[in-house]
Structures are given as structure tokens and as C-alpha cells.
Chains A and B, each alone.
Chain A
Amino acid sequence: MQTYDLEANGLRGLNSALQAQSAATNQTSWEVVNPKGSHAIAVGLDAPIEVTVKGSTGYYCGGMNQQATVMVEGSVGPGVAENMMSGQVVVNGDASQYAGATGHGGLLVIKGNASSRCGISMKGINIVVHGNIGHMSAFMAQAGNLVVCGDAGDALGDSLYEARLFVRGSVKSLGADCIEKDMRPEHLEILKDLLDRAGCDAKPEEFKRYGSARQLYNFDVDNAAAY
């Protein structure tokens, strides 16, 4: 176990040490103490290592992650796991706005609530939120799965492409071109797997599925004059 005191040794030292790890590293387990809300903790990692942040972070924690598992014991500021490619980011507390934005892959788990714009423009990432999410979540989401065990705020899935949205609680309102869809057996399977991996005991049958009505982004010759 490597322990890094962020307050004493600074952010640049932490990220360059973590980014220098290769697939063959023996230093597979890291602990970051005294994060004190700092920005850009554990960003750009590209090795199968585990990093535990002992406290709360500011902006962009775990951004651009590949392969690594980043666990935050507190809450995170805006843009956690932004543009994640693979690996896992797990937040014990809450997440501020645009959690998992533009993520291409990997799993983001938020055990508390996420605020506005969760999963905005997601491109293949899987996001599981144990609590609620705020307004404009999954705006222009293209691929991947967003699972919400609590409630969703206004304009869920506005201008949605092909991402799947699963919500157990209420949805305050759906965004443009986002509709409720049938939950088919393959969706229950996807959901069960994600809930298991996210350590969530909710039952897949309790969720509703939302997706794109595909009216907004498909070219339709009848609408040619409007383009």
C-alpha cells in the first residue's frame, strides 16, 4: 500500500506517480490522504491499480480513467469520471453536476445522490446512482446505461440518442424525444448485472426503462425543409 499525503506533497506529484504505473506494477494499491476538496485527483490513470481517496474531492476526480479503480470515501465535486474510458470510479457520498460526462466506458457508481446533468453526452459508460439525480441528466446521451435507484429531475434524457436509462423512482419530466419503453428480458439482464456490480440490492423489476423516440436525430425526408 502506497500512501500519498496530498496536502504535504501536492497534486502534480500524485498524478505523475499514478500515471507512471504500468500493467506490471507491484504498486497496485494507493491511498490518498488529506484530499481536502482538491481538483483533478487521480486523473488520466492507465493501469489496473486501486486508488482510495480518504475524504472529499473537488472538480474532475478520476477523469479520463482507463483500467484503474478509484474509490472516494467522501463526496465529489463537478465532473467526476469525466470522459472515463474503462475501469471503475466509486463514490461513497454525493456527486455534483455532470458526473460521468462524455464517458466512453467503465463503471461509475455513486452511492449518494448526483446533481444536475449526470451522464451528459455519455458515449458508452455505465453509471449507477444509488440515490437521486438532478435535472437535464443524460442530455444528448449517445450510448451506455444510466441506472437511477431513486428519482430523476426535470428533462431526463433530453435529445437522447441510443443510451438506456433505468429509473426506479419518479421522473419529474422527460426531455424532448425521450420516452418510456418496454422492459424486455435482455434489459432486465443488463440491469441485474449493473446493480450487482454496483453493490445495489434493488430489484431490476422495480425499474422503468426510458430511451429515445428516435424522432429528433434521424433524417426524415418529410422534414427535409426543416433542416
Chain B
Amino acid sequence: MCGIVGLFLKDQSLAPELGNMLTDMLITMTDRGPDSAGIAIYGTDAPGMTKLTVQSATPEADFAGLAEDLGKALGVTITQSDNDTHTVLHLPSDQFEAARTALTDIRPSVRIMSRGDMLEIYKEVGLPKDVAARFNLSGMSGTHGIGHTRMATESAVTTMGAHPFNTGSDQCLVHNGSLSNHNSLRRKLRREGVVIQTENDTEVGAAYLTWKMMNGASLGEALQSSLDDLDGFFTFVVGTKDGFGVVRDPIACKPAVMAETDQYVAFGSEYRALVNLPGIEQARVWEPEPATVYFWSHNDSPTTHEKAA
């Protein structure tokens, strides 16, 4: 069991409230996942810049002078915004690969949580309310976000085993369920050169989507083929730069409820997670169909990654 919440704003006047609403939804799902929690939030982007969100178990030591040291190594100006065990590094977009390589030398114990122009991922072990408090999630603003509360079944309770998982620039995945063919798929993907860091089943799901997209599939196509290639139970919610998507396996035993108003599209593992949203009494509330890919986007003309949906 795990809990998923997601909120996609159509009415941008709600943007300053996004963190607040998502935090309330996340804490409501504590019963479904009390061992760790995480949130992916899509905030503002700066032209030509990308964000690298990194985590450390010893932030005092690792984050002191990190942007400066990394900037020196790459020969560019980098800034950092610390937030508890995470810090967001703001660097020129074309420096991401170089930064990833340099980080392994100058701060080997730092782990990359996400990369993207807008995306930041924060996740830790602990009760959702404690995780939300340490990152001050309720104070964050943005256009859309996804949260996850974890009750581990397939691998250890660790920061790296918590969701969301970053699948590519500005893309993330959360999962409720369990994949049963993750060991064979992990071996296959590693042979293909895909980096998979843990024994976690969802990380394999995320790596699978990344691999499909590296080979030319759109996100919609990758999700569609996951229905054939992933064995097990899943409700996936994926975040993209412009919006979010939902897909459930054909058996669809993992719960999912959606609500839509003029102001937002919301996802919850249970209706309980949605009850405090504005106008929920008048919202269109429904259960997403099995084996069907859904997408909502801020873009009137969808990007190639969303064309398939």
C-alpha cells in the first residue's frame, strides 16, 4: 500500500497555495504510507538555467561551499538554495552532465534527487507530516506537483527508496503497487547502460520509462508500452514540465480517484485526500479507467512528449 496525491492548477492564482494544498493532501494519506514521503514540485524556471536538486545525509559538511566548489570545477557561476537535507543547485542548462560528473569527485556522498528547469524533488524517511515540516512544503508555490507516502514492500526504507523518482529532465514518477518482474528488467536495463542505483522496484519502472524515451518514445508511448512490459500492480502518476499523467495497470486493484474543476485537476489514492480542496463538492469526481493513459497539460499545443496521449 502507498498513497499518491497530485494537483495540477488550471487557475494560476492558486499557485502560491499549491504547497499548502498538496501538503494537506499528503498528510491525509499517512495511513497508506507512514514510512517515508516525498514531493515533486514544479515551480518557476529561469531562461538558460536548470535546477539540480541534491540530497546528503550530512548536509552541513556537504553543502558548505558546494555551489562555489562546483562552479570552480566547471568554470561557471552556480548558486545554491539549501533546504534541510536537500539543496537546489542553479546552473547553466548545458552544464548538467559535467556537473553530475564533477559532483562524484568533489562531494561523493551527495545524491541527485532530480534535474529539470522547473522540477524540484524533496523526499525523506519519516511520517509525511514530519517530512513536510522539515522542507516547509506548505510554503512552496508552483503550477503543479505530485506527492507520495510510502509503505515499503519491495525494498528497504531509505531516502533513495522513497518516491518520486526522476525519470528525465523535468519528469518524475510515483507508484502505488508492486512490480514482480523488476529483477529481470533491472538486469536487462543495466545491460543497456541505464543507471539503476537501488533494489527498489519503482526505480526500475522509472528507469524503464527513461530508457524507452531515450530510444525515441514519447512519454505517452512509454507509458502505453509499460502496460505490456511491466508485470505486477501499479497506479503510476507521472509529472512533466507542462502537466501530469496517470496510468493504471489492467487489473486496476490499486485505488485512484480524480477530481476536476475550472481551477484544477487533482489525483488522490482515496477521496479523503481531496476533501479540503476548494469547490470539491461541485467537482467532477471519477475513477480513472484501467489500462488507459491520461494527461493534462498547461500547453495548448502539447510538446512531443505528450503527443501520444
Interface residues of A (CB under 8 A from B): 36-38, 56-59, 75, 77-78, 93-94, 96-97, 115-116, 134-135
Give the CA-CA distance A31 to B112 in the complex, in Å. 52
Q: Which of B252, B253, B285 contacts A56 (CB 8 A)?
A: B285
Give the CA-CA distance A58 to B290 in the complex, in Å. 20
9-residue interface stretch from B130-138, B170-178, B271-279: B271-279
Given A77-B255, A116-B252, do A94 and B286 touch, yes or no (CB 8 Å)?
Answer: yes
Give the CA-CA distance A59 to B273 in the complex, in Å. 13
Question: Across the interface, do B287 and A96 meet the contact criterion of CB distance under 8 Å?
Answer: yes
B124 interface contact, C-beta 8 A: no
Question: Across the interface, do B271 and A115 meet the contact criterion of CB distance under 8 Å?
Answer: no
Residue among B255, B287, B290 with the most chain A CB within 10 A? B287
Question: Across the interface, do A135 and B270 meet the contact criterion of CB distance under 8 Å?
Answer: no
Chain B residues within an 8 Å CB radius of A57: 271
Given A94-B287, A134-B290, A135-B290, do A78 and B272 touch, yes or no (CB 8 Å)?
Answer: no
Chain A residues within an 8 Å CB radius of B253: 97, 116
List 9 additional A-B contacts (Cβ < 8 Å) besides A37-B273, A96-B255, A115-B252.
A37-B272, A37-B274, A56-B271, A57-B271, A77-B255, A77-B257, A77-B270, A77-B271, A116-B290
Question: Across the interface, do A58 and B272 meet the contact criterion of CB distance under 8 Å?
Answer: yes
Interface residues of B (CB under 8 A from A): 250, 252-253, 255, 257, 270-275, 285-287, 290
Return B217 CB to nearest CB of chain A, in Å.
Answer: 26
Given A97-B253, A116-B290, A134-B290, do A37 and B270 touch, yes or no (CB 8 Å)?
Answer: yes
Give the CA-CA distance A96 to B255 in the complex, in Å. 8
Given A77-B255, A77-B270, do A115 and B275 touch, yes or no (CB 8 Å)?
Answer: no
Chain B residues within an 8 Å CB radius of A93: 285
Return B11 CB to nearest CB of chain A, in Å.
Answer: 23
Q: Which of A75, A77, A97 contacts B252 (CB 8 A)?
A: A97
Question: Across the interface, do B286 and A37 meet the contact criterion of CB distance under 8 Å?
Answer: no
Chain B residues within an 8 Å CB radius of A115: 252, 287
Give the CA-CA distance A46 to B257 in the complex, in Å. 31
Chain B residues within an 8 Å CB radius of A78: 255
Chain B residues within an 8 Å CB radius of A56: 271, 285
Chain A residues within an 8 Å CB radius of B286: 94
Chain A residues within an 8 Å CB radius of B250: 135
Give the CA-CA distance A58 to B275 in the complex, in Å. 11
Return A139 CB to nearest CB of chain B, in Å.
Answer: 12
Nearest 10 pairs of A and B residues by beta carbon: A37-B272, A37-B271, A36-B275, A115-B287, A56-B271, A37-B275, A58-B270, A116-B252, A58-B272, A96-B287
Return A205 CB to nearest CB of chain B, in Å.
Answer: 30
Give the CA-CA distance A115 to B255 in the complex, in Å. 11
Question: Across the interface, do A75 and B255 meet the contact criterion of CB distance under 8 Å?
Answer: no
Return A85 CB to nearest CB of chain B, in Å.
Answer: 25
Chain A, residue nearest B31 (CB): A39
Q: List 25 A-B contacts (CB under 8 A).
A: A36-B272, A36-B275, A37-B273, A37-B274, A38-B272, A56-B271, A57-B271, A58-B270, A58-B271, A58-B272, A75-B285, A77-B257, A77-B270, A78-B255, A96-B255, A96-B257, A97-B252, A97-B255, A115-B252, A115-B287, A116-B252, A116-B253, A134-B252, A134-B290, A135-B252
Chain A residues within an 8 Å CB radius of B290: 116, 134-135
Q: Which of B271, B272, B273, B275 contacts A75 (CB 8 A)?
A: B271
Chain B, residue nearest A96 (CB): B287
Chain A, residue nearest B287 (CB): A115
Return B255 CB to nearest CB of chain A, in Å.
Answer: 6
Give the CA-CA distance A70 to B272 in the complex, in Å. 20
Give the CA-CA distance A23 to B255 in the complex, in Å. 37
